[in-house]
Amino acid sequence: MTATTDLTTDHSRAVADGAHTHSPGAASAAPQGSRAERLTSFSLDDIPVPTGREEEWRFSPVARIQPLFDGGLVTAGADGSGVRVTVEAAPEVKVETVGRDDARLGRAGKPGDRTGVTAWNAFTEATVVTVPAEATPADVTSVRFDGDQGAAAVPSAAHVLVKAERHAEAVVVIDHAGVATLNQTVEIDVADGAHLTVVSVQDWADGAVHTSSHRARIGRDAKLKHVVVTFGGDVVRVTPDAEFTGEGGEVEMVGLYFADSDQHQEHRLFVDHAVPRCKSRVTYKGALQGSGAHTVWVGDVLIQAEAEGTDTYELNRNLVLTDGARADSVPNLEIETGEIDGAGHASATGRFDDEQLFYLMARGIPETDARRLVVRGFFAELIQEIGVASVEERLIASIEAELEKSMSVITGEADPATETDAE
């Protein structure tokens, strides 16, 4: 028996503009009812190829993801995959390539959708990144996936496990560039008392199709900062799940995305409060520009009956810069106990505010610079929250590059290189 309650719903700033759907409760959005009842499994037989009508696929371009639904994916990094996997580790951090029978794999949750289960069954070798107990490396550890032109035609699978042992503190960045058709699992294991930051950057070139199941388990008094940044690729669908396994755990999930014409960027999150006194904060912000740009954000939070003292808040904001773009935003909050500290969500999708533009231009600032200021401002606070300087700098540069594109749309110039604004 599940009671579904919205404790707080801040819709005061939501803008009804047609390009926005918003289901305030799990009961209305999820035909199959509670998120807790959704099937998870390691078996391909249990989770069939979706038709696109399923709750978890209803916003997705399933035809474009089709190659990743079938078995027979090549392991990324293997000969012929067209994907190069490079790891640059901090000195204290251990990196291994292991077979799929390694006992450490498959311990953080189970796949919850078709691409998740396909990825799990496809890989032959996995990359395991271990931050040893009590190690606090100063350097960032990075795992890069680079796809070459041929990689788009070779659907591939990848499995990464990031393990922070007891009281370790580290930052791991997973990077994606080039072109690939990649189905990926990222397991994140944060042991008791550890503080781990995992950043996943989808900086793909045009033509890339990428699905990724992130599954995190967060131990007692452990803290995970989980950052997702999506800029490039034709279709990117990231589904981060976070599960608390001990009291006092904390997860901060931050996401930032920028969709251009005909890009589909989907982020589906699930935070499972299964134990008492844990805290979760979800903040995702996205900008959209160009016809056919489509973003989807779904944030499911489940507070189970035994999770007393839970404190959770999730927020999604979308900024629609041009006509023809669509942002879907669906926060779902299920609460099975009344003994909680706080629970809430907010979602708003708004068009670019012409009054802001007028105010800035009335101070002599040219339109392109004014738009840039507003969009930068929209993301500014979130970027500061990431707390990894190298990632922040890259992000600011990527936002600038995205804005160059929108300026060419606005000014009607085909070639953004003709922009003369000095930065």
Q: Name the residues that contact another protein, by CB under 8 A.
A: 353-356, 358-367, 369-370, 373-374, 376-381
1 DSSP assignment: -
Q: Min. distance of Cβ 55 from another protein in angstroms? A: 33
We find the least distance from the C-beta atom of residue 244 to another protein, in angstroms, to be 32
Q: How far is the CB of 282 from another protein (least distance, A)?
A: 19
Nearer to another protein by Cβ, of 341 and 421: the residue is 421
In 73-204, DSSP assigns E strands to 74-75, 83-88, 94-99, 125-131, 141-147, 156-164, 169-178, 181-190, 195-202
Q: Enter the tokens of residue 341.
A: 């500290």
**Token pair 């395991």 in the structure block, residue:** 128
Report, in Å, the least distance between residue 321 CB and another protein: 15
Q: Rounded to whole angstroms, how far apart are CA atoms 190 and 131?
A: 10
Rounded to 5 degrees, what are φ and ψ at 3? -95, 125
In terms of CB distance, is 332 or 368 closer to another protein?
A: 368
* Element containing residue 406 per DSSP (H, E): helix 389-411
Q: Name the pairing type of β-strands 125-131 and 83-88.
A: unpaired
Of 80 and 377, the one with the shorter C-beta distance to another protein is 377
Q: How far is the CB of 369 from another protein (least distance, A)?
A: 7
Residues with Cβ within 8 Å of 278's Cβ and at least 6 positions away in sequence, in order, are: 218, 244, 247, 248, 249, 250, 251, 307, 310, 311
Q: Which is nearer to another protein, 47 or 327 (CB)?
A: 327
Q: Minimum CB separation from another protein for residue 358, in Å?
A: 6
As measured in angstroms, the least distance from the Cβ of 315 to another protein is 14
Using an 8 Å Cβ cutoff, are 242 and 218 in contact? yes
Query: Rounded to an integer, what is the distance from CA 217 to the centroid of its chain?
Result: 16
Q: How far apart are the first and last CA of the chain?
A: 58
Q: For residue 366, count other CB atoms closer than 10 A to its CB.
A: 12
Question: Is-contact 117 44, C-beta < 8 A?
Answer: yes
Q: Quick one: DSSP state of residue 68?
A: G
Please give the helix or strand (H or E) that residue 148 lies within, else none: none
Cβ closest to another protein, residue 204 vs residue 378: 378
Angle of helix 354-361 relative to helix 367-386, nearest 10 degrees, comes to 110
Cα 169 from Cα 185, distance rounded (Å): 22
The least distance separating another protein from the CB of residue 386, rounded to whole angstroms, comes to 15
> By C-beta, is 240 or 255 nearer to another protein?
255
Q: Which is nearer to another protein, 195 or 317 (CB)?
A: 317
| Least gap, CB of 344 to another protein (angstroms) | 20
Of the two residues 69 and 284, which places its CB atom closer to another protein in the complex? 284
- Tell me the closest approach of the beta carbon of residue 370 to another protein, in angstroms: 8
Closest to another protein by CB, 215 vs 317, is 317
- Considering the complex, state which of residue 209 and residue 399 has its C-beta at the smaller distance from another protein: 399
Tokens of 14: 């939501």
- What is the smallest separation between the CB atom of 374 and another protein, expressed in angstroms? 6
Q: Give the span between the Cα atoms of 46 and 35, in whole angstroms.
A: 17
Instruction: Tell me whether residue 264 or residue 317 sits nearer to another protein (CB atom).
Output: 317
> Phi/psi of residue 325, each to 5°?
-105, 155
Whether 7 contacts 344, CB under 8 Å: yes
